[in-house]
């Protein structure tokens, strides 16, 4: 199982490797581990990620470079012998031909790095099938669109109570 945190993480790639993924954004009760391995100035979001990795016994993690704190979190996890694979994908800020090509190359580098680590081959058909599944939404279903963010499981459950 591979952990991820950012809404921009291309989760569909994980299906191409036939691996499950888990979002590491849930809240935690304390920062015991994070305060042991990181600096006090590390943001609470990064500290919660470190705690969730420990609590869930996550051995593989992928980050997007959305903030400097995630880079620092990766630095910390690179020193942790229990985390066997820790990767960060650079995400361009602008959208143009150059940045699209740059991001494509970042994804290809991640796929190659994960193939080398896991000794698994990337299955392009399983990857493509993820997009077909997302197209099969029922237009009559109620939903709330959250733009610019992913919700924690706790927040999602709270909102769902009002839709039912």
Distance from chain centroid for Cα 98: 24
Measured CA to CA in angstroms, residue 61 lies from 1, 101, 141 at distances of 9, 24, 33
Structure tokens at 56: 């869930």
Is residue 37 within 8 Å of 50, Cβ to Cβ?
yes
d(CA 76, CA 50): 9
| CB neighbours of residue 68 within 10 Å | 10
Task: Give the per-residue pLDDT at 162.
Answer: 73
User: Taking 90 as the threshold, does the pLDDT of residue 89 lie above it?
Assistant: yes
pLDDT digits (tens, 9 = 90+) for 117-157: 999 999 999 998 887 755 555 666 666 666 656 667 777 77
Task: Give the per-residue pLDDT at 68.
Answer: 86
Higher pLDDT, 144 or 86: 86
Which among 7-11, 18-22, 146-150, 155-159 has the top mean pLDDT? 18-22
| CB neighbours of residue 76 within 10 Å | 21
CA angle 54/49/4 to nearest 5° reads 100
Q: Helix, strand, or coil here: 106?
A: helix
The secondary structure element, H or E, covering residue 62 is strand 60-64
Structure tokens at 28: 């935690």
Task: Give the per-residue pLDDT at 140.
Answer: 64
């Amino acid at each position: 199982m591979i952990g991820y945190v950012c809404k921009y993480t291309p989760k569909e790639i994980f299906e191409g490797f036939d691996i499950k993924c888990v979002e590491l954004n849930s809240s935690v009760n304390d920062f015991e581990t994070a305060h042991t391995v990181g600096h006090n100035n590390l943001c609470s979001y990064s500290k919660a990620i470190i705690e969730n990795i420990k609590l869930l016994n996550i051995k593989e993690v992928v980050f997007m470079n959305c903030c400097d704190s995630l880079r620092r979190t990766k630095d910390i996890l690179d020193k942790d012998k229990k985390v066997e694979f820790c990767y960060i994908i650079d995400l361009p800020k602008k959208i143009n031909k150059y940045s699209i090509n740059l991001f494509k190359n970042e994804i290809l580098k991640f796929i190659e790095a994960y193939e080398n680590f896991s000794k698994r081959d990337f299955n392009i058909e399983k990857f493509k099938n993820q997009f077909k599944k997302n197209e099969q939404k029922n237009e009559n279903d109620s939903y709330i669109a959250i733009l610019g963010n992913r919700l924690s499981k706790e927040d999602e459950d709270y909102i769902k109570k009002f839709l039912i």
